[in-house]
Structure 1
Amino acid sequence: MEAWKNLFVPNPVLWALKDEGFMSPTTIQALSIPHAIRDRLDIVGAAETGSGKTLAFCVPILHHVLNVQTVQDALIEQTHSLQDTQKYISQNETDSDSNIDILQPEFNPEEDWGDSDNSDEENNSDEIDDSDDVDNDDVDSGVDNGSDEDGDYDNPPTEEDIEELGENEVGCVRVVHNIVLDPTPQTVNTDKPLIGLILEPTRELAIQVKNHLLKAAKYINVKIATVVGGMAPQKQRRILSQCPEIIIATPGRLWELLQEGDQHLIKIPSVKVLVVDEADRMVEKGHFEELTKLFEFMKDNHEARLKRQTLVFSATLTMIHKGPSRKMKKKKKALIPDDKLDLLMYQIGIKDKKKIVDLTTKTGTAENLTEARINCPKDEKDLYLYYFRRQYPGRTLVFANSKDCLRRLVSIFTELGCKPLSLHADMHQKQRLKNLEKFSASNDGFLLASDVAARGLDIPNVQHVIHYQVPRTIENYVHRSGRTARATKEGLSVMLISQDDVRNYRKIISTLNRDEELPVFPVEYQYIPTLKSQLRLALEIDKLHHRFMKVKRQNDWFSKAAEEMEIDIKDEKLLVDIGDNEEQRQHAKKLVNMRADLLQALKQPLAPRTFSGKYPTKMGKLVTLHDAGKY
């Protein structure tokens, strides 16, 4: 761990990093962590995806946690020391005034023994003074020896004595039957501070950051919670009631719980560390209205704002693209990149004295990323995606701009036996996480996703990224492509470009300062006819099945509604004729036969046995048609 020596990383964090195999810091970590811990500066960091930005802000947060805990422990120790001193002084003052043991309980004969004469009181008092003769074994076991009327402790009371005294008064003990005790309410330590707040644009990224933070905090006693949409608010309220020191949240759910008056979240203005991850997307106007409200809420405490440390990280700080048109109409001129960076810092509350660490390259993407394009008509994108999937197996992530497009692709590629997984905003959070786990666990995973998966997700060993639809902004292209070629590994990014995508493609090339267009990905066209016939059959199966199921679901809905309203639906002619039982069986049989034909076609080898199945690359670079003559 010698490489971490001068970064001022706390020892408990170093032990955890060693356990996880982080023997040396990345460039973004080495340049930002010392300024955050030693100099207490606000940090604005930009580096390519997979460069270790998460750990760059996790380590300073844990440093603050340890500092707060050290101060709290010192105060507790000081308080205990003061209490012990006061107790010692009080005991000495009491002993100097009297020789009577101050801990000796006062004996009340009337309360403990009932009515008796003065002689009995004296005898009983004497017996109490000589109570050292009581058997210790009986005391430890909870047995009460009792006493007779003469105060004799050596002989237990007889049954006649018990009957005479009454069943509720035996010796010194008063027995109370069927007593009901009020349960002691569990109290929450509301004085526990909120030390760190990390804001993330997506739920998956928030959960991923929490997992990284837990590993780094392995040897630190700290509570970490996520506050995200898609999960039960009741459960998150219970977690917040435990007053976690660090909260990782998406702005929407955080603002919702804050408006409800959560007692822990109202401490947000006094938070010691604020982290805004994927900042370029987080501050886009019109995207996160709650984020602006959160920043306004935090500005109310001016003194805490001056003491707060703010860390901002992203894969790019260019922010070239314009905001939504309805917002930009109010502006007389477009903002240049430097203006947008200043606006970002103003909204978040970055101090004038800050450290900017910009490691982004001129090209905007990782150096070990191979980029290419496939020019094709819009209605043949399915074909070329299928070609790539068949020819180049491996962990592949496909991005599209719309959820409807993703649903259609999932249906078609399921018929083709590609076992696709999906990920988009309309899915339940549990299913989204489940699909991510399946994709990460499979060496040949095939994930069809919206831009929800473009930001910050650390999915190991993604070999290919396919842009089925060209992204609308340069930031999305950089983040999408950044899912591969991570941590010095090589990767491939391919855009499928139709006539509708040319405008966005030109904008991306111009913004990335590319002198040349992306190279054309080599396609072996002798395989295209076979793939086209397989895809055509899959499309027919999908269309036939989807059309039938759509009508059937509509009929089932009308039938159920009519039954509840006690209406004869046949008279209303609302049901679509899907045939009788025999015709439906024939339809199902036809689908089975078509799927059998498709399965047989898929079993046929596409490439000759001598084909290696690797990229058409040499020395890590794509061999294009233009460059082929050089080799």
Structure 2
Amino acid sequence: MKRSHSVDADRQKPINPKKKSRKQKESKAGPVSNADDTLPASIDEWQWSEIAPGEMLQDMGGFLSLEEIDGVDVVEEGGAFSFRPAKAKKNKNGGKDRPGKASPYSPLPEKLTKKFIAVDDFDESEAADASNVEKDETKEDDEDDKNSVDGEDEDVKEKDSENEEVDDAPDALNQDELLETSPDPNDADMSAWTPFSLPAPILADLQTLKFTSPTPIQSSVLPHALKGRDIIGAAETGSGKTLAFALPILAHVYRTRMANKHNPGAGAKPSSSSTPRPPTALILTPTRELATQIADHLRSAGSNLLVRVACVIGGMSVHKQRRLLQRGADVVVATVGRLWEVMEDDPAVAGALRKVAFLVVDEGDRMVEVGHYKELDLILRAINGKTPDGAGEKEVRQRKTFVFSATMHRELAKKRKKGKGDWDSVLAKLSFQDPLGPLRVDLTRDNFVSSGLSEGRIECEASQKDTYLLYLLLRHPSRTLVFFSSLPSLKRVASLLQHILPNLPTPRTLITLHGHMQQRERLKHVEKFARVEGAVMVATDVAARGLDVPGVEMVVQYGVPKDPAVYVHRSGRTARAGEKGAAIVFVCPEDNKAYRGICDSLKKKSGIEPFPVDASLLPAFSKRVELARSIDGVEHGESKEKTEKLWMKKMAREADIALDSDDSSDDETHHKATKSKTKNPASAAAKRDLLALLKVPILPSKLRGGFITSEVNLAVGGVDDTEGGTSADVVQKLREGLKSGEILPTKSRLTAHKLVKTQS
């Protein structure tokens, strides 16, 4: 409570603002009360404390001073006010004394600061994504704190790895025990790996991963790679090339671990100095997804070695990656653009990479493309100990070099335009150190695709592609990957399918993947595609190389790629590791030139086999596509109009220009319509019609008696026998499909792979 005194101006005395008040003089001011817990009768007898008014109040005529008092409450009773001693208030923390104020000179406790982020490491986009993710994962926080889950975010893994103490023997408490791990004799037989004399801990990891025998490319490469030969390898997609170069690297890591175990002083321990510990291997890849996948394979196959893998890719925090390299890693997996950025900023990293024991260039033919070749050239010069002008040769550690690709053979013989580079010049810059020269291992087939792959083509007009795509997705409901050559085309089709796939009687999940997405989002979408059964992914060529998702049964190429190598790699996302799959390409009249080029390159004189389609079902699919297009067109127009108005309003505000009244009224009308959630009548009607159609099964238009022909077989989709069946069998299959509620009755589903094989 405060009170003030006012006197005549001539009686006013100057107040010294530096004079200490009674409150400042008293060591502790308690509540004002007497022994009976009542206030003195006269207000002047209360223990007032003077407040210095400061210089600005000294010139106010009639104002003398301002005083305050603690421990007094003002109480109103029946319109009258009275004063009473204030009651003591208990602390919210159960009566305990509050902790003292923080001192600006005392450090904060470690418990509070361990989650702080350095300013240089802060990434606004990652922070925004993290805040959105936290809302969906709050229920799992307690479990995540206790146990590490398989689906843990890549950033969290990276942060955890940075917080660990890194030394020459990671997790020294159990590493010695892990190095003694051997395969379980009661588990799968691992004798097929015996000729390669791989260390027992690595064999135990292979047994855990169910890799009980080597693939042909591994059997051909490992005997020579383990003896120190340089390798140039080519094999079909999904043939196991990653383990072919990973196992020699892991074997070297094992020997290093054992040497350090028996002679602790021999290992170079990383320190806080500016020179990082040299890694054992450097693996260069053209795409981020491939780099992440290789890093995961290395961690799985080297889990008993506690192998440290640093993934240096774009889209992630470069500061974190620098620290990982500084602290030391056994293997560095990197994309060339980000790695050169790190090397250019930190010469110590380039010096450490100059001493790697293994250099691997995976999917090497992609490196010669625009946007990759320049950085690759600079990296190779740096690790070879040369300056950008080619001078300054320095001491370089003896190393082994591996180069792998599924289309190596063609690209070695293919010269590119000036500025794009060619394989002869790239191989020369690799500086192979094998006295006998690199060993070339080529296991590619004549047509460069997997033996389990069935290829098919659908000839159609450009306007019919959407109808045929929906036909394939509903006719063959399986995990499917659809490739597009351009991002606008991908976004248009994805928007179209979003109106159909989630609204099916058995909903399908639609996932997108393209280069304009943030890296964290791309990784999550790949993981979701691998996890959700029957998911459909629409992607650009960022998913064409190295993406290994089990269970992909069908790949659809929405357009014909210009480069035959792109066709091979797209098709290679299915029929991997001995499995079966189908690759279907849409061929329009304007694609004939590119299509003939692919056929010539893959030695398909008669072209790709036509994919059988039941034409009688296409009108039903076309009607659904047209409704989805009309809905998408209306929504796209409304979104575009809204965006333009918002842009115009923003520009006017920045330019300090007043909009016309008509424009303002339009904005208000639009805002009210949006707020009240009113919908466009045409769009709402189209949505109702589409939802009604999607609930109706699409049945064969006609059935014929006698033996089932190939036409009826394709229409039913559940008959896997082309001879000896009757129309009664067909009817029974249709009834089973109707009971299951499927759009197309596929109780015993005929896969696209079997369909092509049956017709060819």
TM-score by length of 2: 0.63
- When the two chains are superposed, the root-mean-square deviation of aligned CA atoms in Å is 2.8
Whole-Å separation in 2 of the counterparts to 1:594 and 1:492: 34
2:253 paired residue among 65, 70, 95: 65
The answer to whether the aligner puts 1:399 opposite 2:483 as a matched pair is yes
**What is the distance in 2 between the residues matched to 1:377 and 1:578?**
44
Decide whether aligned partners of structure 1 residues 224 and 23 sit closer, same or farther in structure 2, where only a CA change above 3 A counts: same
Q: Which residue is equivalent to 2:525?
A: 435
Of 279-288 and 196-205, deviating more is 279-288
Q: Which position in structure 1 is the counterpart of 2:498?
A: 414
SS at the partner of 1:374?
A: strand
Alignment of 1:316 onto 2:413: no
**Structure 2 SS opposite 1:271:** coil
2:233 is aligned to: 45
Q: Do the aligned partners of residues 477 and 304 (structure 1) sit closer, same or farther apart at CA in structure 2, a change above 3 Å counting?
A: farther
Separation in structure 2 between the aligned mates of residue 195 and residue 442 of structure 1, nearest angstrom: 37
Which of 418, 428, 445 matches 1:346?
A: 428
Residue pair 1:285, 1:323 contacting (<8 A) in 2 also:
no
Greater mean alpha carbon deviation, residues 292-301 or residues 566-575: 566-575
* Cα separation, 2, equivalents of 1:347 and 1:388: 46
Q: Report the counterpart of residue 219 of structure 2 in structure 1.
A: 30
The answer on whether the counterparts of 1:381 and 1:496 sit within 8 Å (CA) in structure 2 is: yes
Quick check: 343-352 or 244-253, which moved more? Answer: 343-352
Question: What count of residue pairs does the alignment treat as equivalent?
Answer: 509
Q: Decide which of 244, 250, 258 is 2:335's aligned counterpart.
A: 250
1:554-599 Cα offsets, whole Å, 9 max, x none, are: 2123323433554313379699879656766654454333212211
**How many angstroms apart in 2 are the aligned matches of 1:605 and 1:195?**
59
Q: Distance in 2 between matches of 1:313 and 1:442?
A: 31
SS at match of 1:622: helix
% identical equivalent positions: 36
1:600 to 665, 668, 692: 692
Q: Which one-letter code corresponds to 2:690 in the other structure?
A: L
Q: Determine the structure 2 residue equivalent to 1:500.
A: 590
Q: Within the alignment, does 1:548 sit opposite 2:638 as a pair?
A: yes
TM-score, length basis structure 1: 0.75
Change (3 A) 1:483 1:304: farther
CA distance 1:620–1:304, shift in 2 (3 Å): farther
Contact kept in structure 1, 2:482 and 2:555, CA below 8 Å: yes
How big is the shift at 1:350? 2.8
Counterpart AA for 1:346:
A
SS in 1 for 2:408: coil
Give the aligned residue type for 1:622. K
* Aligned 8 A contact 1:272 1:309 in 2: yes
The worse-fitting range, judged by mean Cα deviation, of 191-200 and 386-395 is: 191-200
Cα separation, 1, equivalents of 2:494 and 2:750? 25
TM-aligned CA distance change 1:509 to 1:261, over 3 Å? same
Equivalent residue runs for 1:455-604 within 5 Å: 455-570=545-660, 580=670, 587-604=679-696
Is residue 2:102 matched to residue 1:11? no
Please name the residue that 1:209 is paired with: 294
Q: Could you say what secondary structure the match of 2:410 adopts?
A: coil
Cα deviation digits, residues 520-555 of structure 1 (max 9, x gap): 111111111111111111101101101110110221
Q: Give the C-alpha shift of residue 616 in structure 1.
A: 7.1
Cα distance in structure 2, aligned partners of 1:406 and 1:20: 35
* Matched residue type, 1:318: H
User: Partners in 2 of 1:437 and 1:299 — Cα distance?
Assistant: 37
Distance 2:666 2:418 in 1: 43
CA drift of 1:188 comes to 5.2
SS of 2:212's equivalent in the other structure is coil
Q: Secondary structure at the match of 2:458?
A: strand
CA deviation vs aligned residue, 1:490-522 (integer Å, no higher than 9, x gap) = 100111000111111100110111232111111
Contact 2:309 2:332 (C-alpha < 8 Å) held by counterparts: yes
1:219 Cα deviation from its structure 2 partner: 1.3
Q: Which residue of 2 aligns with 1:381?
A: 465
Give the letter aligned to residue 254 of structure 2.
L
- Match among 351, 357, 363 for residue 441 of structure 2: 357
Equivalent residues of 1:286, 1:324 under 8 A apart: no
Cα distance change on mapping 1:375 and 1:622 into 2, 3 Å: same
Query: Is the Cα contact below 8 Å between 1:617 and 1:623 reproduced in 2?
Result: no
Say which of 251, 272, 292 aligns to 2:357: 272
SS in 1 for 2:195: helix
Question: Which residue does the alignment assign to 2:758?
Answer: 623
Q: Does structure 1 conserve the Cα–Cα contact (< 8 Å) formed by 2:530 and 2:550?
A: yes
In the TM superposition, what is the alpha-carbon distance from 1:65 to its structure 2 partner? 2.0
- The offset of 1:74, in angstroms, is 5.3
1:208-262 CA distance string (max 9 Å, x none): 1111100111111432110000112122223223111211000011111111116
Distance 1:73 1:545 in 2: 66
- Give the whole-Å Cα distance in 1 for the aligned partners of 2:578 and 2:453: 9
**What is the correspondence of 1:121-136 to structure 2 with a 5 Å cutoff?**
none
Partner in structure 2 of residue 85 of structure 1: none
Deviates more, 1:608-617 or 1:217-226: 608-617
Q: Deviations over 1:282-334 (max 9, x none)?
A: 23355432111111212226675571110111112133596775647xx9xxx
Displacement, 1:8?
A: 2.8
SS in 1 for 2:304: coil
- Give the Cα separation in 2 of the matches to 1:342 and 1:574: 65
Does the C-alpha gap of structure 1 residues 563 and 497 become closer, same or farther in structure 2, counting only changes over 3 Å?
Answer: same
> Aligned residue for 2:278?
193
C-alpha distance in 1 between matches for 2:369 and 2:588: 28
Instruction: Using the TM superposition, give the Cα deviation of residue 622 of structure 1 relative to its aligned residue in structure 2, in angstroms.
Output: 2.4
Greater RCO (Cα-Cα under 8 Å, separation 6 or more): 1
Q: Secondary structure at the match of 1:360?
A: coil
Match of 1:237 among 322, 328, 347: 322
Asked if 1 retains the 8 angstrom alpha-carbon contact of 2:458 and 2:610, the reply is: yes
Change (3 A) 1:326 1:42: closer
